[in-house]
Amino acid sequence: MKKIAIIGECMIELNGEPFGNMWQTYGGDTLNTATYLARVSNPQDIGVHYITAMGADKLSQQMIQHWQQDQIHTDSVLIDPNRQAGLYLIQLDKFGERTFLYWRSESAARYLLQHPDYPQVQDKLAEMDMIYLSGISLAILPDADRYALIEQLKQLAAQGVKITFDSNYRPKLWESAAKTQEIYTALYPLVHLALVTFDDEQALWGDNDPAQSVQRLRELGVKNIVLKQGKEGALFCDEQGNQQNVATTPVTNVVDTTSAGDAFNAGFLNGYLRDKLPQQCCQQGNQVAGIVIQHKGAIIDKNATAHLIDQFN
């Protein structure tokens, strides 16, 4: 069995129109990926472990129970009796594109590394085949904790644990673009697999084309690169610099693009952890994302992707 630890934050999600029809669920970029990865994987082959901190309140506990129902391992979810989960509101336009409002500055996940039981989580991380985190995983942490986590990942990478990173750049979560670049530059030499989106690379680094993004990441020491380009598909570049473009099938019924990239990552990682060819991994990512964007919310009904278990495994 391959074991992957996914580090991040899950929040309460409010979705709909303010002062109109609205429903409550949960989500967060890394939790979305963990959920879809667990749903499309055979639990005997891939063990998905979520690493975060949550509150002791009833709502937090109910969210954890939902993760367990998706066969996500939650033994490294720490409980903070003094804080709760963050909250975000999604508003959609007529094209399915979304805008977000967040209330997360004092969420339990922000203080994950300061939790008294976090050293036990560190021990668990050393048992993993892969550790996955995102730019948001780093953005929400106090600056000293960002560097502490990177130092821990450096030690784990030296022990053979593969570090996977989705840059997922959200400017409002960072002090400045310069600080984001500083943190990412410190992390990238440790990264075995980068799953990045070209729109984010343009926003953060000012890249003019995908080739520039790939070249910069290779120069920073990233071994394997997946550059997601939405309806244009994905570009994969391996350690030797070999590149491959993988097209995607256009989706005409786009309802909500909220977790498209997170869903792609889940499908890709299912293939990658099973040693499938890069083209197959990208195709799996496109399949999962293509289904998810036809439904509302970050986490859709599990029946929508149930058929992929037999296809992927």
**All structural domains of the chain:** 2-9+28-81+114-312 (3.40.1190.20)
The pair of three-digit structure tokens given for residue 129, joined into one six-digit string: 């085949």
In angstroms, the CA 206 to CA 199 distance is 10
Q: How is residue 154 written in tokens? A: 């450096």
Whether 166 shows a pLDDT value over 90: the answer reads yes
Q: Rounded to the nearest 5 degrees, what angle is found at the Cα of 181, between the Cα atoms of 180 and 185?
A: 120
Alpha carbon distance 30, 32 (integer Å): 5
The answer to whether residue 16 scores a pLDDT higher than 80 is no
pLDDT cut 90: percent of the chain above it? 83
Average pLDDT over residues 246-275: 92
Structure confidence at residue 298 (pLDDT): 84
Residue with tokens 């929400």: 140
Residue 292 confidence (pLDDT): 95
Sequence-distant (≥ 6) Cβ neighbours of residue 294 within 8 angstroms: 251, 253, 254, 255
Active site members: 262
Look at residue 30 and tell me whether its pLDDT is greater than 70: yes
Residue 245 in this model has a pLDDT that exceeds 80 = yes
Tell me the pLDDT band of 45, cut-offs 50, 70 and 90: very high
Give the model's pLDDT for residue 101.
81
The C-alpha atoms of residue 24 and residue 13 are separated, in whole angstroms, by 6
DSSP state of 231: G
Q: Give the separation between CA 223 and CA 165, rounded to whole angstroms.
A: 11
Mean of pLDDT values over 146-164: 98
Question: For the whole model, what pTM was predicted?
Answer: 0.94
Stretch 175-191: mean pLDDT: 98
Contacts of 201 (CB under 8 A, 6+ apart): 167, 207, 213, 216, 227
Neighbours of 74 (CB within 10 A): 15
Whether residue 25 is predicted with pLDDT greater than 90 in this model: the reply is no
How high is the pLDDT of residue 206? Answer: 96
149-to-40, 153, 154 alpha-carbon distances in Å: 29, 6, 9
Tokens of 76: 């490294």
The mean of the pLDDT values for the chain is: 94
CA atoms within 13 A on the CB side of 119: 1
The encoded tokens of residue 187 equal 């992390």
Task: Tell me how many helices (H) and strands (E) the chain has.
Answer: 11, 13
